[in-house]
Chain A
Amino acid sequence: MSEHDEHRTPVSLNGLSADDPHLQPAAKNPATVEMVISLTFVLGAILVAGFGAAYWVDAKPWILGATMGGGLFFLGVGLVAWGKYLMPRGPFVEARHEFANSEADRDAFAAAIVERGGGVVKRRKMLAGLLGGGLGIFGVVAMFPLLRSLGPLPKGTLFHTDWRKGSFAVDQTGRRVSSGDLAVGSIMTVFPEGTQNSDRGQAVDQTVLIRVSNAGFTTQKGRETWAPLGYVAYSKVCTHLGCPVGLYEQQLQLLVCPCHQSMFNVTNGAVPQFGPAPRPLPQLPLYIDGDGFLRAQADYNQPVGPGFWERA
């Protein structure tokens, strides 16, 4: 420790007098510092009062935040400055008695517990066994709500949607979609009739309907009848992690997933051409009935959405 720091050697609190160097403020000019600190306190008080007024007149949230934040900030600055510049510098040391018992006391206590307590419990073997049984049963029973909170078993629902042979395609308001509704280059989200307001309908059955041409359109071999009058329908659930694939770029003929930028080619059966999606979006086979309404020929021919372990 250097010579000019000598007055900062730790001293005991007892026996200090007012002119002791340890009790002098850190600042060289305490009067000025006190004035500055007073200013910050006044400023803080004004801002905090301003917060009250702003709250009273229902001001904008950012005004509430600025007045309260600013007020507390200035109060805090004053407080820290007070402690830092005007308080005695110390450091001070106050001796403290030992918390722990002596080694011998602790050893004697432990020995007494083992000797007397052990014997008492061992005399009641049956009670101890019954207690253990009760606690064990409780442990098993406690698993019930945990397991139940995982929800019902999905069973076959992961493999099928609510699209059936003859399901009408409807929009989010339940209006049936007819063959004149979309111009070429248009897109809409459709559901099998009756599911448009249900959680399952919106999560599992959601389907993008895109009109890619004015005539029947073949996306892949074997799907010649699936897109009458150019209406192509794909599952809206991304095969990567299940985000809604809602971004349609009509000139590029791409469906883009907003989450991880998987891109599906609308014209060839939604085969992914970029991004992490592992499989094409399943295509829904459509037909147009005698009244001009769009209906499903059948359910999707494969599970929609991301992979799961039973999926072939």
Chain B
Amino acid sequence: MVGVLALGPLALFAASAQANSLNPTATTRKNSGTPNSNIVVKKNGTVIKYGDKYITYSAPSSKLDALGQALFMENCASCHGTQANGVPANGVAGAYPDLVGLGPATIDFWVASGRMPAKDTTAVEAPRRQAALNPQQAEAIAAWVNSLQPSFPYIPKPHLKNANVSDGAALFALNCAACHTIEGDGDALAMSTFSPSLRNIPAYQVVEAIRTGPANMPRFTGNLSDKQVNDLTKYVTTEIQHPNNPGGFGLGGLGPVAEGFVALLLGVGFLVLICYWIGERT
């Protein structure tokens, strides 16, 4: 543990490569982000689509491979190597992680959410920002990396129409709220890391994050079914992202601190001014 801390931020990326070695056959539960699902579509012996009525996972189109390779060489290879298998940095093997075998959803999430290519490669945690590459380019990079070694999970598409928001809220409180807060605003965590806000994240990226566990986030595979992930995603993209603030102001969802600040400083301050006006010096 001490070693990991001493190696600093780069080592954090390294750990994700190990953690993401998902063996789909080891998952006993059906419909949990792997081809162990109700619907599996194959073409030339290769799985190109799987899932169920809640979420479908599609392989990125192999037609994008060439574009993806070009984009990878331009944007990613300087850190992750020309074979996407990671390179040592500061003498630490795997400090820039091996991307082969992580599954297209992982690559797509990091690129489409603007976290990669990293703006600051020494940062402890890459923040979500305006994506440098558009969604199709992200998919292309995922397609090329996947062509090196096909792996799961594929890029998900949740079907939210019939999802159950109420079940999603319960699952959110149980699995997500500890780190992301009950309002989904994100918060500080250990060792300069933080859990990001969920206010501005598209539905398919919510599923990608749940299924792949980016950075320090745990992965949710066999313990959440596709139906449960679908419910969760609906809750995040409706109630969390469009909160119904009964008081008119959400105050950033920061809870009693922000509310106390407003009540005491602004509210009591205003009352003091009123008293000053009512009162009269004798």
List residues of A whose CB falls within 8 A of some B CB.
60-62, 65-66, 80, 84, 171-172, 177-189, 210, 214, 244, 246-254, 256, 258, 261, 263, 265, 267-268, 273-274, 292
Contacts and interface: CB of A to CB of B under 8 A. Distances in A.
B178 interface: yes
Contacts of B215: 251
Contacts of A177: 223
Contacts of A172: 174
Given A61-B247, A80-B277, A254 B191 contact: yes
B20 interface: yes
A256 B12 CA distance: 17
Nearest to B21: A184
A178 B29 CA distance: 9
Contacts of B19: 184-185, 250-251
A181 B190 contact: no
A61 B245 CA distance: 9
B82 interface: no
Interface SS of A by simple majority? mixed
Find the residue from B1, B179, B216, B218 having the highest chain A CB count within 10 A.
Answer: B218
A204 B92 CA distance: 43
B268 interface: no
B26 A180 contact: yes
A171 B228 CA distance: 14
Nearest to B216: A249
5 contacts: A179-B26, A181-B221, A185-B213, A186-B223, A244-B178
Contacts of A292: 28
A62 B247 contact: yes
Contact of B189 (A60, A210, A253, A256): A256
B222 interface: yes
B275 to A, nearest CB: 10
Q: How large is the interface on B (under 10, 10 to 19, 20 to 34, 35 or more residues)?
A: 35 or more
A273 B223 CA distance: 29
Contacts of B245: 62
Contacts of A66: 248
Find the residue from B216, B249, B278 having the highest chain A CB count within 10 A.
Answer: B216
B216 A184 contact: no
Given A61-B246, A180-B29, A256-B190, A250 B174 contact: no
A256 B215 CA distance: 16
B174 A189 contact: yes
Interface in B166-200: 174, 178-179, 189-191, 193
Contact of A180 (B28, B179, B219, B247): B28
A302 B113 CA distance: 45
A252 B4 contact: yes
Given A180-B29, A181-B27, A250-B216, A188 B189 contact: no
Contact of A250 (B23, B217, B249, B280): B217
Contacts of A263: 190
Contacts of B219: 183-186, 250
Interface in B192-243: 193, 213, 215-223
B221 A267 contact: no
A251 B223 contact: no
Contact of B18 (A61, A184, A252): A184
A183 B216 contact: no
A183 B222 contact: yes
A228 B15 CA distance: 21
A94 B174 CA distance: 69
Contacts of A60: 246, 248
